[in-house]
Structure 1
Amino acid sequence: MSGLVVVGADGSASSLAAVETAAREARWRGAGLRVVHAFLWPAMHVPLGPSSLGPSDGGLRNAAQHVVAEAVERAGSVAPDVEVSHAVVTGEPLTVLEAQSRAAELVVVGSRGMGGFVGLMLGSTAVHLAAHGQCPVMVVREQPAAGGPVLLGVDGSPAGADAVDFAFAEAALRGAELLALHAWTPWNTPVPAPPLDPTMPYASEPGELARTEERLVAEAIAGRRERHPGVTVRTRTVHGGTRETLIEESRTAQLLVVGARGRGGFAGLVLGSVSQAVLHHAHCPVVVVRGSTAGR
């Protein structure tokens, strides 16, 4: 066994769905699975053991152990051949999972936990972990389309190269097709260099922008086909909004992979508008891959 997949468990239906997904990921990777529950209650200065007036198996500590036990059992039912470990760690969930991500190749969480507020589509732990995790972070949202492709959002940025690598590897693990999709508008494309001849018009020829964006996709996936010869790859270049296009395409995908920040990102931001949008609205699980400079 090599590698480790970490999954956050809090007893919610969302986290149990994440446990099932994480168990499958661990099986595909030949990795171990660690179920982690962040135990905040000691900071609330309340007794951890059972009350003298209640059942012997009551109390906050027993409740935490029950959450972990249920998650371990669920993982075993999905992937009985995967080695599963577990931990109840004192601390705030984001801090605990961010620390766990340093030794993991993937962290999996549900889209909303027990602390979610009605009306919110994504829990704070999921979105913050996607921004700060030290390895790729998968947020399990709706059930994926059976047999759908791994959908890769291509932006052509240097930081997005790790997302391309992850998507190819994931498609190979799943035996799935890879759809590399790039959406563009004249507003999110790089400004062309001025002509060498100042008498020439400072404008692109008809169709040149579209051809440039198509080349961007080809260059982004160059070399990956050779490393993953068993992966069937389709490429698409769409004239339209990136967020809207990826969210709509995710309806028929089994997984959506994006980088944390695209070529239009502002320095200092750790999570771009596209990655935030798909985390909140995609119709399948989403993996956010931060650039290697932000990782281990």
Structure 2
Amino acid sequence: MPRRVVVGVDGSPSALAAVAAAAQEALLRGVRLHVVHAFVWPAMHVPPGGSPLGPSAGGVRESVERLLTEAVERAQAAAPGVRVDHGVITGTAVTALEAESRTARLMVVGHHSSAGPAGLLGSTAVHLAAHSHCPVMVVREQTTDDRPVLVAVDDTPRSRGAVAFAFEEASLRGAELVALHVCGTWADRSDTRPVDRVDPGNDAETIPDHEERLLHEALSGHRESHPEVTVRAHIVQGRTQPTLIEASRSARLMVVGARGRGGFTGLLLGSVSQAVLRHAYCPVTVVRSGLK
């Protein structure tokens, strides 16, 4: 049975944007979209027909049904023909969505929760990016379809899964793929001065041979398996975080890798991945190393 695309909803505008993106991803993959709402109140023994704090029309059950109906309608409008089902899970969003990720091909969440101010990366997104059992797409806003997919390539095992996912995503979307490797000044990650972009095919004298070899080796096998994908490979001399964030301005989706499971969430996800999730100008997919 093909795995589902799963999207978490909480009624916020950010979650509805995530639903639209998730519906399109499910349709591209030919799989079902599963809309999930994590529901804490039943565990607290609140009567499902209505809260003693308000009229029956404002009860818990009615509110949840409206939330899910709106999400399903948004999915069907964003991707006509997509197959959608939905469910309510007792528990917190973090625990519910992490459990759902075990049987998902892709998990999609909004950039911030309804409880947080606009633009603030929610704790659910951070936790899932670090602990999900499948790739996690964090949606900030929808971008135009004529932009490329962007993948960050480095010299660690964590970028291997990201590169594979990015090729698949570019193939499904019929999009160009930009593979970006940052080298040069790594120490001062808080520096946001402009960076110099270098194309390894045009300015090879300024780039160490091992940097070119690294990028070539990261892409070579995938280029053969996805000949339909047009790839532009770039090596950028500059600071990692601001370079990737700036590059996201011209992408429809950015794909980054992260370390495997274990440890504290912040350490597990890594400073670069966290910075991209918080500040990128396009949706970001995090692919942890070791995912099967």
What's 1:214 paired with? 212
In structure 2, what is the Cα distance between the partners aligned to 1:236 and 1:153?
10
Deviates more, 1:131-140 or 1:210-219: 210-219
What's 1:200 paired with? none
Structure 1 residues 149 and 60: CA distance shift in structure 2, 3 A? same
CA contact (8 A) 2:186 2:239 kept: no
Structure 1 residues 185 and 52: CA distance shift in structure 2, 3 A? closer
Structure 1 residues 243 and 54: CA distance shift in structure 2, 3 A? closer
CA contact (8 A) 2:150 2:255 kept: yes
Residue 156 of structure 1: CA displacement?
A: 2.4
In structure 2, what is the Cα distance between the partners aligned to 1:109 and 1:51?
28
What's 2:127 paired with? 128
CA contact (8 A) 1:65 1:88 kept: no
User: Is there any run of 5+ residues in structure 2 with no aligned partner, and where?
Assistant: 188-204
In structure 2, what is the Cα distance between the partners aligned to 1:120 and 1:25?
23
What's 1:281 paired with? 279
Structure 1 residues 97 and 51: CA distance shift in structure 2, 3 A? closer
Residue 257 of structure 1: CA displacement?
A: 0.1
Q: How does 1:43-58 map to 2 (within 5 A)?
A: 43-50=43-50, 55-58=55-58
Residue 7 of structure 1: CA displacement?
A: 0.2
Counterpart of 2:32 in structure 1: which amino acid?
G
Q: How does 1:33-52 map to 2 (within 5 A)?
A: 33-50=33-50
In structure 2, what is the Cα distance between the partners aligned to 1:10 and 1:127?
16
Counterpart of 1:76 in structure 2: which amino acid?
Q
Residue 119 of structure 1: CA displacement?
A: 6.7
User: Is there any run of 5+ residues in structure 1 with no aligned partner, and where?
Assistant: 189-206
What's 2:244 paired with? 246
Q: How does 1:2-81 map to 2 (within 5 A)?
A: 2-50=2-50, 55-81=55-81
In structure 2, what is the Cα distance between the partners aligned to 1:127 and 1:186?
27
Counterpart of 2:254 in structure 1: which amino acid?
L
State the secondary structure of the residue aligned to 2:99.
helix
State the secondary structure of the residue aligned to 2:141.
coil
CA contact (8 A) 1:257 1:289 kept: yes
In structure 1, what is the Cα distance between the partners aligned to 2:280 and 2:137?
12
In structure 2, what is the Cα distance between the partners aligned to 1:54 and 1:234?
58
In structure 1, what is the Cα distance between the partners aligned to 2:52 and 2:119?
38
State the secondary structure of the residue aligned to 2:21.
helix
Structure 1 residues 175 and 43: CA distance shift in structure 2, 3 A? same
State the secondary structure of the residue aligned to 1:102.
helix
| Residue 154, structure 1, aligned to residue 153, structure 2 | yes
Residue 49 of structure 1: CA displacement?
A: 1.7
What's 1:260 paired with? 258
What's 1:232 paired with? 230
Residue 61 of structure 1: CA displacement?
A: 2.0
In structure 1, what is the Cα distance between the partners aligned to 2:52 and 2:216?
67
Give the TM-score taking structure 2 as reference length.
0.87
CA contact (8 A) 1:32 1:82 kept: yes
In structure 1, what is the Cα distance between the partners aligned to 2:186 and 2:55?
63
Structure 1 residues 41 and 54: CA distance shift in structure 2, 3 A? closer
Provide the alpha-carbon RMSD of the alignment: 2.3
Residue 58 of structure 1: CA displacement?
A: 2.4
Residue 208 of structure 1: CA displacement?
A: 8.0
State the secondary structure of the residue aligned to 1:269.
helix
Structure 1 residues 13 and 119: CA distance shift in structure 2, 3 A? closer
Structure 1 residues 249 and 187: CA distance shift in structure 2, 3 A? closer
| Residue 96, structure 1, aligned to residue 96, structure 2 | yes
CA contact (8 A) 2:111 2:119 kept: no
Structure 1 residues 109 and 245: CA distance shift in structure 2, 3 A? same
Residue 73 of structure 1: CA displacement?
A: 1.1
Residue 159 of structure 1: CA displacement?
A: 2.4
Q: Tell me how many residue pairs correspond in the alignment.
A: 272
State the secondary structure of the residue aligned to 2:33.
strand
What's 2:195 paired with? none
Give the TM-score taking structure 1 as reference length.
0.86
CA contact (8 A) 1:179 1:234 kept: yes
What's 1:144 paired with? 143
Deviates more, 1:78-87 or 1:164-173: 78-87
Counterpart of 2:176 in structure 1: which amino acid?
E
Counterpart of 2:103 in structure 1: which amino acid?
A
Structure 1 residues 52 and 185: CA distance shift in structure 2, 3 A? closer
Deviation string 1:26-83 (CA, Å, 9 cap, x unpaired) is: 0000010000000012244433322589654321122112111110111111223111
Deviation string 1:205-234 (CA, Å, 9 cap, x unpaired) is: xx6863221211111111101100100000
Counterpart of 1:104 in structure 2: which amino acid?
A
In structure 2, what is the Cα distance between the partners aligned to 1:67 and 1:84?
15
- The percent identity for this pair of structures is 60
